[in-house]
Amino acid sequence: QVQLVESGGGVVQPGRSLRLSCAASGFIFRKYGMHWVRQAPGKGLEWLAITSYAGTDSFYGDSAKGRFTISRDNSKNTLYLQMNSLRHEDTAVYYCAKAKSGADCSSITCPLDYWGQGTLVIVSS
C-alpha cells in the first residue's frame, strides 16, 4: 500500500534553514508528481509546491516562492523540501502528498490522492 513518511521537522530559530524529507513506498515513485502542503496550527491547508515525476518541472505557491525548494531523488524514492530564511509564520505541520495521474488529471494538473502523516516545524527563538 502507498506509504509516505515525512521527517526532518523540529524547532528552528528564525532565519535558519531546514530540510524536510518524505520517504515513499508502495508505488512506483518515479512515475508520479509529488506535492508539499502545510497547515498552521488551527488553520486551513496551504499548498506549497509540486515537482514533476522526473523532477524537471516545479511550481510554487506564493508563500514558498524564493525561500523554499522542492526536489526529489528517484533513486532513493524520496521527496525533499529545502526551507530557507524561516519565519515564525512558517510554523506548521508539513505534509507530502502524491499526485494522481492520467485520466484523473486535467491537461496540466492532477489532484492529490495519498498524504503522509506530516512533520511539525516550529520556528521560534
Partner 1 sequence: DIQMTQSPSTLSASVGDTVTITCRASQSINIWLAWYQQKPGTAPKALMYKASNLEGGVPSRFSGSGSGTEFTLTISSLQPDDFATYHCQQYHDYPYTFGQGTKLEIK
Binding site for partner 1 (CB under 8 A): 35, 37, 44-47, 50, 59-62, 95, 100, 104-106, 108-118
Residue number with CB closer to partner 1 (67 or 125)? 67
The x, y and z cell numbers of residue 46, run together, are 496551504
Please, what is the minimum distance in Å from the beta carbon of residue 88 to partner 1?
Answer: 21
Smallest separation, CB 11 to partner 1 (Å):
19
Helices then strands, counting H and E runs in the chain, come out as: 0, 11
Task: Report, in Å, the least distance between residue 107 CB and partner 1.
Answer: 10
Closer residue to partner 1, CB minimum distance, 83 or 116: 116
Place of cell 526532518: 8
- Nearer Cβ to partner 1 (30/59): 59
Taking the least distance from each CB to partner 1, the nearer of 13 and 43 is 43
Separation between Cα atoms, residue 123 and residue 125, nearest integer Å: 7
Shortest Cβ distance from residue 106 to partner 1 (Å)?
A: 5
Closest CA to 20 of 40, 5, 41: 5
In angstroms, what CA-CA distances link 3 with 97, 101, 113? 10, 17, 12
Residues 101, 113: Cα–Cα separation, whole Å:
10
